[in-house]
Amino acid sequence: MPVSGEAATQDLDEIQRMLNGLSPAREGQRALQSQSVLLLRDLAHARWLLVAQKGSSIPLPFLVVLVFWLAVIFASLSLLAPRNGTVHTIIVVCALSVSSAIFLILELDRPFDGLLRLSDAPLQNAIAQLDR
């Protein structure tokens, strides 16, 4: 099933019509129908979240200003600090920790791309079950 586009909307609408067209005879069937409607609503909500999250929510000018600002801070600390190995080691460790924090923020901003990504195996298993 496609994530975005008119075909996905039509598929979800068709499933909604099919669920509403069911006439359950027993209480258990009514519960299953209402649970199916809730699951379909959650699926539609997740689909819209995927469509909305295609781009990055962190603007590039913000990142440029942030990196420039941090570079100025670390450069000024390097100029004003005494020249010894301990100070240089601490500055390098602090720079690595700040850069790794920025890297993690950028990675977690796009959960389906990059080094740290969510697995699509559960979704593929669900689609395989629906196709049977």
Cβ contacts of 117 within 8 Å, gap of 6 or more: 111
Structural domains in the chain (count): 2
- pTM reported for the whole predicted model: 0.54
- For 75, the domain range is 57-132
Q: Are residues 32 and 65 in the same domain?
A: no
Q: Are residues 26 and 88 in the same domain?
A: no
Q: Are residues 45 and 21 in the same domain?
A: yes
pLDDT at 1: 47
Cβ contacts of 40 within 8 Å, gap of 6 or more: 12, 15, 16, 19
pLDDT at 112: 72
pLDDT at 126: 78
Q: Are residues 38 and 64 in the same domain?
A: no
Q: Are residues 2 and 49 in the same domain?
A: yes
Q: Are residues 61 and 43 in the same domain?
A: no
Domain end point (choices 36, 54, 72): 54
Q: Are residues 65 and 120 in the same domain?
A: yes
| pLDDT by 10s per residue, the chain, length 132 | 444 567 767 777 888 888 888 888 888 888 888 888 888 888 888 877 777 666 677 888 999 999 999 999 988 888 888 889 998 899 899 999 999 999 999 888 877 777 887 777 887 787 778 777
Q: Are residues 87 and 109 in the same domain?
A: yes
Q: Are residues 65 and 24 in the same domain?
A: no
pLDDT at 53: 65
pLDDT at 55: 67
pLDDT at 8: 66
Q: Are 47 and 8 in contact (CB under 8 A)?
A: yes
CA neighbor of 1 nearest in space, from 132, 123, 121: 123
